Amino acid sequence: MKINKTAQDLINQLMAKHPHTILTIGILHKGKTSFKLFNQTGEIPYQSHLYEMGSIGKTFTTSLLAKFVAEGKMDLDESVVKYLPELDDEKYYPTLRRLATHTAGYPEDYEAEDLKLMLPLLMRMYVKREQLLIQDVMAVSREKLIRFAKKRDLKDEDYPWVYSNFGMALLGLAISNVAGTDFMTVMTEFIQQDLKLTNTFVGTNTDQLIQGYDLKNREITPWIVTKDEQYIPAGGGMITTAEDLLTYARLNLAETPAYLTVAHEYQAKGQKDSGMDMALGWWLNVEEKVLWHGGNTSGFATSFGFSKEKDFALVIFANTQDFEERQPIFNAVLTENWND
């Protein structure tokens, strides 16, 4: 693995702003893995750490969806109402494909449109001066998911791309209904039995998780999955290591299990002017043939991508919320190692 001056300068800038940062970089290239670890003093001897992966967990949700599609249990072009009997089937609800590509017409999170839900959060922020965490605005129970889905009136059309944690959580609820169990259970089984990842977990309730820090370098308390809010992990709320994510990349590069192929195919237009379209849950650069996703939580920032054409994958973890600092490092390391 090469770390050029551009990447090293960017790492130094990150450490100057966030001196508690532990930065992990992992590369898989032509079957071989390599890892580097940095802190404020520079590169240090490598050891594995557990990080929150944030929204990279969405690709696990859509990979599980791809499995159920391949098995004939779900259909991408069916409305989600088919799998959620609590919804009123007399009105239109988005297809699974639209939910998995952020083109369903749902907002990022539904609290912003519901004053009753937002008021307690605003009171905490502006009256009590308490720290507001990402999971506070993503907290979603089955009842809330169903209530808001019923409340929102949508048309049968591809909406412009809008990144939606809510839409992915609703997809997670549909998947759990098909599985006949709760989302945490079916996702844990998928991670352990299908993907055979030994250090990837739903939720963050472990003392082995590295300490995370927000933009002001304050320690973040890990989010604890509750029984009522277990659909957050469908959109973000899992932890992993660089080793496990590169094992996940290896499976995707080999398209083994074969249903992972379904998750890699072009499905919808992405964010305007981004240069990226959508596969199932993955951002897809059709020209470069790269699949990518980022993750950002209250105390962590992650980037992960791979190219089947180059037989290459890269992951970067930082235990700070600053994704604007993390992404240029990812790009610099990618550029330097892309053609080796």
For residue 254, the Cα-to-chain-centroid distance in whole angstroms is 21
Is the predicted pLDDT of residue 285 greater than 80, yes or no? yes
- The pLDDT value recorded for residue 105 is 94
Token pair for residue 42? 């520079």
**Range with top average pLDDT, 37-51, 111-125, 201-215:** 37-51
- The pLDDT value recorded for residue 157 is 93
- The pLDDT value recorded for residue 122 is 53
Query: Rounded to an integer, what distance in angstroms lies between the CA atom of residue 190 and that of residue 172?
Result: 13
Q: Which amino acid is at 89?
A: D
| pLDDT greater at residue 154 or residue 272 | 154
Confidence (pTM) = 0.91
Query: Rounded to an integer, what distance in angstroms lies between the CA atom of residue 179 and that of residue 271?
Result: 31
pLDDT (average), residues 295-308: 93
Cβ atoms 53, 239 nearer than 8 A: yes
The residue among 4, 56, 47, 11 whose CA lies nearest residue 318 is 11
- The pLDDT value recorded for residue 271 is 85
Where do the structural domains in the chain lie, given as residue ranges? Answer: 5-337
- The pLDDT value recorded for residue 142 is 84
Cβ atoms 37, 23 nearer than 8 A: yes
By CB atoms closer than 10 A (0-12, 13-18, 19+), residue 163 is middle
Cβ atoms 243, 25 nearer than 8 A: no
- The pLDDT value recorded for residue 235 is 81
Query: Rounded to an integer, what distance in angstroms lies between the CA atom of residue 275 and that of residue 210?
Result: 34
Q: Which amino acid is at 252?
A: N
Query: Rounded to an integer, what distance in angstroms lies between the CA atom of residue 103 and that of residue 194?
Result: 28
Q: What is the pLDDT of residues 17-70, one digit of tens each?
A: 999 999 999 999 999 999 999 999 999 999 999 999 999 999 999 999 999 999
Is the predicted pLDDT of residue 90 greater than 90, yes or no? no
Instruction: Give me the percent of the chain exceeding a pLDDT of 90.
Output: 69
- The pLDDT value recorded for residue 109 is 66
Task: Specify the CATH class of 5-337 in words.
Answer: alpha beta
Query: Rounded to an integer, what distance in angstroms lies between the CA atom of residue 211 and that of residue 320?
Result: 9
What mean pLDDT value characterizes the chain? 88
Beta bridge partners, 320, equal: 213
Token pair for residue 290? 């790269």
Is the predicted pLDDT of residue 117 greater than 90, yes or no? no
Return the percent helix, strand and coil in the chain, to nearest 5: 40, 20, 45
Report DSSP letters for 35-94, one per residue. EEEEETTEEE-----BEE-GGGHHHHHHHHHHHHHHTTS--TTSBGGGG-TTS-TTS---
